[in-house]
Amino acid sequence: MKTLIIGGGGREDALAWKLSESPHVTEIFTAPGNAGTLRYGKNVDISPVDIEGLKRFAIDNSIDLTVVGPELPLTLGIVDSFRSAGLLIFGPTQKAAAIEGSKAFCKDMLRAANIPTADYETFSSAEEAKKYLSTARLPLVVKADGLAAGKGVIICQTLAEATEAVTLIMGEMAFGEAGKRLIIEEFLEGEEASYLAITDGNGVAGLAPAQDHKAIFDGDRGPNTGGMGAYSPAPIITPQLEKKILSSIIKPLIKAMKDVGIVYTGVLYAGLMVSEDGVLKVLEFNCRFGDPECQPILMRLEDDLFEILCDAAKGELGDRVLRWSDKHSLCVVMASEGYPGSYKKDLPISGLEEAGQMSDVLVFHAGTRAEKGTVLTAGGRVLGVTGLGRDIREARTRTYEAVDKISFKGAYYRKDIARKALR
């Protein structure tokens, strides 16, 4: 079967690797891919948002299954467009992807499904938002409604900060159209975890829980990034909590969507806050695999990913319990100096082969490109070095050992990935 993966980050390299393990898969194309995805097939120079171009490619090359990595093509309607051409594609339709594309829609769905989340109000005028702020409890969180590459969420300790956040989002339109509406919500305390499930709108297959590390610096300090590392399983999500997440969050959300005429197919990713006494609240939903969560999660998956994605895309998933390795996995993101701000590109990377030869280690590429036999940096998050171990301690030791073998000028990574899990 010929498979097309859309995207070019660490998540897509992990998807390419895992799909390449399936006996059903004969050819893998990644658009646009990176230096890593070349290990499993061909890269196609078409942008993930060029939906017409991608559809043409899929038709011309008789692609059997397309798998969409990032949110943007999903919110632009790539699934609707492929389906209308009779192509099989894994991901939510445009209407379903609004669960990530509009935080206000997401909050309304959460409310409709009676799923616990932070209290909130939605605003489409800066003046009204500011009026509300004068009576709101601090700290609070101001969020742009639309997609803002993870930057549209501002945690505010003071009224002055909150007022500034409203001005930034709605006055200055710092995130463009994403700021036409905003939400103001209660600040939640606790530990974050990611729970992802694959669904065809009826059946659900839960993925192993994971924990991401969003802040750039050790100890969760500094600005938020796309994610600096992740590990699985996440001990904060106990097997009991996992059951509860499926029955009281994932399934009710899918049903609430269906009640408004939306059949959700694809990955449903719940960003959760777990309070000290184990109370769960949903921070957000994403409409795709998490990056970097996808890397350690897929490394533990023992089932055939192609079969799962194909069945989900066809509406034949059913409730399914997936098989997972007992081993623990951990991914450390190696980033360019300066990320998440500005950074240099085109720096040669060394040590990839040596690290990749270690057993139970996979070096997933994110922002890389190949040029005349060398691999160069090409993005903020450059690599996702991922290792397995009998426990999280062993996975950590092995992964950091692999990281030590790799270098490029200014390479930066967090040294405390999964430290919380060692407690």
Chain residues that interact with ligand GLY, rule: CB under 6 A: 212, 226-227, 286, 290-291, 293
Q: What is the DSSP string of 340-359?
A: TS------B-B-HHHHHTST
Tell me which of ligand GLY, ligand AMP, none is bound by residue 421, counting a contact when its beta carbon lies within the kind-specific cut-off of 5 to 8 angstroms: none
Nearest distance from C-beta of residue 375 to ligand GLY, angstroms: 23
**Contact present, 179 and 166 (Cβ < 8 Å):** no
Q: What phi, psi does 76 have (nearest 5°)? A: -85, -5
> Which residues within the stretch 99-118 sit at the binding site for ligand AMP (CB under 6 A)?
118
Residue 65 touching ligand AMP (CB under 6 A): no
Nearest distance from C-beta of residue 312 to ligand GLY, angstroms: 19
Which of 143, 181 has the CB closer to ligand AMP?
A: 143
Nearest distance from C-beta of residue 212 to ligand GLY, angstroms: 4
Contact segment (CB under 6 A) with ligand AMP among 180-188, 197-205, 301-309, 415-423 equals 180-188
Classified as helix, coil or strand, 94 is helix
Tell me which of ligand AMP, ligand GLY, none is bound by residue 283, counting a contact when its beta carbon lies within the kind-specific cut-off of 5 to 8 angstroms: ligand AMP
Helices (H) and strands (E) in the chain — how many of each? 14, 22
Residue 283 touching ligand AMP (CB under 6 A): yes
The residue count for binding ligand AMP (CB under 6 A) is: 14
**Contact present, 360 and 388 (Cβ < 8 Å):** yes
Q: Mask 144-163, x = binds ligand AMP (CB under 6 A)?
A: ---------x-x--------
Residue 71 touching ligand AMP (CB under 6 A): no
Nearest distance from C-beta of residue 202 to ligand AMP, angstroms: 27
Specify the long-range contacts of residues 365-370, CB closer than 8 Å, at least 24 apart. Answer: 365/10, 365/13, 365/34, 365/35, 365/36, 365/37, 366/9, 366/10, 366/13, 366/34, 366/36, 366/291, 366/333, 367/9, 367/34, 367/336, 368/34, 368/35, 368/36, 369/34, 369/35, 370/35, 370/38
Nearest distance from C-beta of residue 43 to ligand AMP, angstroms: 29
Neighbouring residues of 78: CB distance < 8 A, sequence distance ≥ 6? 6, 51, 54, 68, 89, 91
Nearest distance from C-beta of residue 385 to ligand AMP, angstroms: 23
Tell me which of ligand AMP, ligand GLY, none is bound by residue 188, counting a contact when its beta carbon lies within the kind-specific cut-off of 5 to 8 angstroms: ligand AMP
Structure tokens at 38: 């070349």
- For ligand AMP, the binding residue among 209, 271, 296, 340 (CB under 6 A) is 271
Tell me which of ligand AMP, ligand GLY, none is bound by residue 185, counting a contact when its beta carbon lies within the kind-specific cut-off of 5 to 8 angstroms: ligand AMP
Q: What phi, psi does 203 have (nearest 5°)? A: -80, 160
- Residue nearest ligand GLY (C-beta atom): 227
